[in-house]
Structure 1
């Protein structure tokens, strides 16, 4: 090879080395998801999983890059079975898998212990469903959520029951979980602030199916409203048994009754049930209606409950990764407090504790077999 050809070959080789590798396989970026994928609330867990997955799918369609290199976001899915012990195991598995952040968990009783695992590993977590105030009061900089907490929502519900729904004699039932008990405590506080009359408080557990003894006690005390701190399937069984005992008492919940499962189980017994849900009136938001169409096209099923909140959590996590411009976990945690995104449920931005700023809450009622939004309180106007 002559000198001229040698110089040309070396120049060409240097050009190839420094040229962008457009055809290179993207680097896999794992975002964890943890929730109940088996057991009584598995349908809610799958709904949350699908919401997060849709956000990742749509981001990947944009051919994202981090630090100038192509990446592909992949959801690492773990089942916590709605069991705190399994939640810790699922959290450790995600940490060991090298995820850069986690969407989850659903149950507050799972999110609280799991958050300690993520905190130790400097992994950001955004829960789309855990509303117990204690979760974000631990002083962990890595913990966030995309819906209002029960310390606000439960109090609003209690005041609303007295001031707007005109309840005179209130009975409270909770399922003794971190979610149900915390919610009932907040409701009782709000009712008291509004000078309401809570005449009795009863307890069950999250596996119970027979509430007739509790209901008989409340019936004898002539309650005109029962507030239930628990999940939708139990709430549906509760209202059916109320009607079978001849009780025309209002059933009121906050944050977990509004679902397709409640409607299917409760049937005509559920008519008139009210639930104050975290979030805006999704049934009236064009963004939510468009999301529901995309969701059904992708997964061939309707949104069950909290998929929009998981979608928004994933949007916020992805935005944090881009803002950090790094896959370093600590940098992503540091980026999240500054993230602002407009998602399906509205504007997502966090206060210093990791809670939503100005979270909205919407009152729903079962009318002719469907959940209908009646009124939204709070929120940031989005």
Structure 2
């Protein structure tokens, strides 16, 4: 079975979905592919900063997302041995220190907007298996498996928005330089106690960061940095002494933690690294978001950077410009900001423990 579109976007995360909507709004035909059978199911970062918020507001999407449910973080708190010792409150001109937005809410709002465009198609459970080129070597489409059936999609431009392990990046032989940061991350999710405030709470366990993020619908997301590559050995050890470090840091959560985190299986492991590519694309193909510049979870920049990529790329594409699109223009517009963010992440990681020096005795 064959299809044709101006643009084929691979990856229906926030960056790919937003780009698809913006391009369809400009009159380009778009086919958006997602390998998962459902949207927004993966365990991902879900925090908007003021830049991501501004992108969504500029396209009149934020109000509808807010109607579905979001939570503004009012303060950042630092704890030592179960005691609060420092609080940072939101700048009144910004109104928050980050906004929790469930990815499912974000994607639903964006993709609901695409229903008005007959030239937009979203295909779920569709995995790209091969890129197609013409006689000059320009990429002109993809071969994919949809519900187990092989399909072909011809397009003027392929956009890889398929994340840190991007198939499109690998298939197009674009080199990625990976940097490890000395830690991996354990995620967990627990119900919030009654009256839990919308805040981010931080503690230091050994020399590693432990973070709690309030979420919509009465949950707390736990992010616990551990030594890089240590989880396989760590999970061979007794679980109780490990989890007691969490309850010592946040005693108010003891009962809930005991009920909901009972073994190593209750954590999700994230292999932490950042990356960059010297080239963001080639003839007929462009990468965005984590596919071309993977972020670490530090500072929750990844989602926001992907939204900004999509916004920028959409501004460069139209029916008139797509055939002559130069990926280097996009890269030159976005790369300085990305490099600044990656530098900022490293600085935050290296200086995190300094927040606790004043409590040392």
Q: TM-score, normalised by structure 2?
A: 0.31
Bigger radius of gyration:
1
- Identify, as 1 or 2, the structure richer in strand: 2
- Identify, as 1 or 2, the structure richer in helix: 1
Q: TM-score, normalised by structure 1?
A: 0.30
